[in-house]
Structure formats: structure tokens, C-alpha cells
Amino acid sequence: MNWTNKGCEFEEQGRRFKELKAIYIFGAGISGKTIYNMYADKIRIKGFIDNDPAKSGIDGNNVRTFLISEIQLDEYEAIVICTGQASEREIAAGLTEIGCLSDKNIYFMNTFFPVFDMYVNDVLCLPSVSYLPTTACNLRCKDCLNFSPLIKEHKFRNIERQKADLDLLFSKIDRIILFHISGGEPFLYPHLAELITYLSEHHKNKIGRVEMTTNATIPPSDALTKALADCGVNLIVDDYRENVPEFQNNFDMLIKKLDRYGVLYRVQKAENWISLSPFDTNHSHWNEAQLRLHFTDCAVPWQEYRDGKLWLCNYAAYAAVAGLEKIYSDEFYDLNDVRADNRNEVLEFRMGYSDKGYAEFCKRCAGYGNNPNKAKVAEQSWKPQAFQTPYQKGQSHGNTPDKDNGL
Ligand code: SF4
């Protein structure tokens, strides 16, 4: 989307949100609960709605979960869909069929709450940021969305510089619903325990939920596992055992250790991946309008935060790190430039607005939300590397010299 009314793109929505008297949260899962915990004192939440009859009823906090058939919306009420991106469009279509009007009283959490916060609470909220302490990975997945196998030299970001980056982020941004840490494989980062402890001790009150994704091939050190538990990190354990069976033992060791330390985690087993297909895609002949449409249909949900900058599209940013694309100055927002009078611009940039309305990498990218190219999960392009963490080498986390290339 290209800016046509910079700083005021959400004024109409903001005006409507000011009139809202109550909302229902569609989805009584982890996203819905996160939102409830963050917003129950900021707007009246009448309860959850869930399609699963088993979730109906009243929970320990006296909050009711309804079936959609029980809901009668008043004029100044709305439903906010708080599920994963994969299902939210389908849910919205179902709600529209039964008479809820999209854009009048159905909203998606990632757009609703940041706009609500800005216009009702004067708070700059981001739906999520994606954060990579390192791009290094021991796997070599053919369709890695982060293009990790294509990076010639993996380095680990300097811990002090990362702390300064986090301080900058939270000095400019008031609230982040989801802070997502990935890589590369984050467990390879030698200062990970220190990093998440710093994040928790200094900025926890501005974050709804911290998640971290691991490829589940590297058992973490005791110190790291304890830090994951103490900091309340929600670990997503990717189950790649079908394609990397040589790591079965490590997977089992990891699960046992997480249970032993009380780490919050869930195992995620995808049926398939998508491929961004940068070597088989050519949209370079498309005009501006076609490229903007591709960007909008793609609806990429992630923006990376790195080096004090928010990057318009995660995958375009990763492509630049991997040397597949150049860096363009209109594809990042430097948080050093955020002032009291341009906070709306940051919100709009995070919602996908930019001067051009697309990323240059869109010209060779098959897209994310609109991607038809199914790929095998974690298919290895060549043998996985026997990376060792400092812990496995007998060192403690934190003693490895940094090689910081500002990844
Ligand atoms: S099409 Fe590709 S480069 Fe463009 S926004 Fe989507 S994921 Fe990013």
C-alpha cells in the first residue's frame, strides 16, 4: 500500500473505534488470551467466541466463551478475530455470511488493536516484531523463508548492541503484542539467555507475549532452559523429524528438558511450507499498480526489527542479508527518527504503508499469504551442519567472542 494521506490513513477507523462500547474476542486460544490480558482494562470485553463447543462456558477469571450462535451484536459492538493468520480470513467470511458486516463490526487483531491504541489511548502499539539474534543455522532447508542457507558467512550479533537496540525500540514504541524471536536457529546464539533475561527485566511490561521458534535439533543449556522458564518465553518447537530423523534423540532430549524446567511450549508440525521461489519468479515487467496489489494480497504479517530499524517486509529484509537483493532506504523506518509528531507514520508503516507501496523484492517473490507454491517441510538441500553451541563445546553461554556484522 502506498501512502496517499501520510499520518492520517487510519483516521476514519480511529473515529469509529472511539465510538465502540464493547468487543468480543473471536478465538479462545493463546492469541485471544494474550489480547484479553492486555486490553481487558482498556475496553469492555464481553467474552470470547469460539467454534469449539468444548471451550464454551465460564473460565476461572469469570470470562464467558460463547458460540457464535449465541451472539447478538449491538450497534456499537464489534468482533475482533484473534486467531492465526491462516484461519482469520475464513472466519471473517463465515461471520459475514451470518450477517456481521466486515469493516463495520469485524476486525482482525493485528490491525484493530494498534489503531485502537493510537486513536483511543494515544499509545503506539505494534502487532508484532520479528527479532533474529543470529542468522546461523545448523539445518540447510531448501525453502528456508529466511534464506539462511544462502548466507555466506554467519555471524552472531553483539550482545551489548542488541541491548541498545532493544532500549531504542521500547523508548519509541509503547506496546508490542507479540515479540517473536527466531533465526537462523536461536539456540545457536551464545548470549541467548542473557538477551531474553534483559528483555524480560527491562521491557516485559510493554510486551504481550514473547515467542521463540526452535528447529528442535539442539538441546539448550541448563542456563538457557532456566531463562526460558523464568522469562515466560513461549517456545514453538518445530517438528522436522520426518526430514531430519538424525535429530530424533535431540528432539526427545529437548522435550524432556522443557518439561523438567517448566518451559511453556507447543510442538508445531506443519503439513507443508510455502516457497518464495526467488529464482523462479519474475515480476519485473509488472507496473506499479500490479506490484502494489501483489504486496497487498501477500499481506506479509511480519516486520523484522534490526539495527534500530523496522523493515517493511521480513522476507525482503532477509533477502538483502543473504545477498539476493539490495537495501532500499524507503523499505525501513529508522526508529531514531520517531518523534511525537510522526508516531502515526510509524503505525502506518508497520501496517504496510510506504512511499512506493511494495518492496523491490516483490518483483522476484511469489508472496506469502497469496502463495500457491507448496514446499516440503524442512527438506534439506545438503547435509545439515554439525554446529555446536558453546554449551556443547563445554563453555558457558556468554563467553564466546562476538563477530558482529550487523546482520
Ligand atoms: S511478495 Fe514477498 S517480498 Fe513482497 S511483501 Fe510479500 S513476502 Fe515480502
Q: 50-66, pLDDT tens digit by residue?
A: 988 888 889 878 899 99
Residue of 300, 303, 304, 363 to test ligand 1 pocket, by largest number of atoms within 8 Å of CB:
300
CA of residue 192 to ligand 1 center, whole Å = 29
**What's residue 407's pLDDT?**
40
Instruction: Pick the atom of ligand 1 nearest to 365's CA.
Output: 2
Residue of minimum CA distance from atom 5 in ligand 1:
295
Burial string for 132-159 (b: 16+ CB within 10 Å, else e) reads bbbbbbbbbbebbbbbbbebeebebbbb
Amino acid letter for position 232: G
**pLDDT, tens only, 255-296:** 999 999 999 999 999 999 999 999 999 999 999 999 999 999
Residue of 130, 276, 331 to test ligand 1 pocket, by largest number of atoms within 8 Å of CB:
276
| pLDDT at residue 392 greater than cutoff 70 | no
Instruction: Pick the atom of ligand 1 nearest to 361's CA.
Output: 3
Cα–Cα distances in angstroms (integers) from residue 10 to residues 16, 103, 305, 337, in the given order: 10, 12, 23, 21
| pLDDT at residue 386 greater than cutoff 90 | no
CA of residue 359 to ligand 1 center, whole Å = 7
Least confident of 10-14, 88-92, 238-242, 362-366: 88-92
pTM of the complete model: 0.93
**What's residue 385's pLDDT?**
61
Residue of 368, 370, 371 to test ligand 1 pocket, by largest number of atoms within 8 Å of CB:
368
Helix, strand, coil percent content, the chain, rounded in steps of 5: 35, 20, 45
CA of residue 285 to ligand 1 center, whole Å = 16
Determine how β-strand 305-306 pairs with β-strand 309-311: antiparallel
Pocket, ligand 1, Cβ cutoff 6 A: 276, 294-295, 298, 300, 313, 315-316, 359, 361-362, 365, 367-368
User: How distant is the alpha carbon of residue 78 from its chain centre?
Assistant: 24
> Which residue is it, cell 476486525?
107
Least confident of 81-85, 277-281, 375-379, 383-387: 383-387
CA of residue 231 to ligand 1 center, whole Å = 32
User: What does the DSSP assignment read for 252-263?
Assistant: HHHHHHHHHHT-
Mean per-residue pLDDT over the chain, rounded: 91
80-84, 167-171, 275-279 — most confident range: 167-171
CA of residue 84 to ligand 1 center, whole Å = 19
| pLDDT at residue 387 greater than cutoff 70 | no
Residue of minimum CA distance from atom 4 in ligand 1:
362
| pLDDT at residue 358 greater than cutoff 80 | yes
CA of residue 312 to ligand 1 center, whole Å = 9
Confidence of residue 122 (pLDDT cuts 50, 70, 90): very high
CA of residue 390 to ligand 1 center, whole Å = 35
Residue of 144, 293, 294, 321 to test ligand 1 pocket, by largest number of atoms within 8 Å of CB:
294
Report residue 53 as a C-alpha cell: 463447543
**What's residue 215's pLDDT?**
97
| Cα–Cα distance measured from residue 175 to residue 229, given in angstroms and rounded to the nearest whole number | 22
Residue of minimum CA distance from atom 1 in ligand 1:
367
**What's residue 383's pLDDT?**
63
> Which residue is it, cell 463495520?
104
User: What does the DSSP assignment read for 341-376?
Assistant: TSHHHHHHHHTT-BSSSS-GGGGG---STT---EE-
- Work out the percent of the chain whose per-residue pLDDT is above 90: 81
| pLDDT at residue 238 greater than cutoff 60 | yes
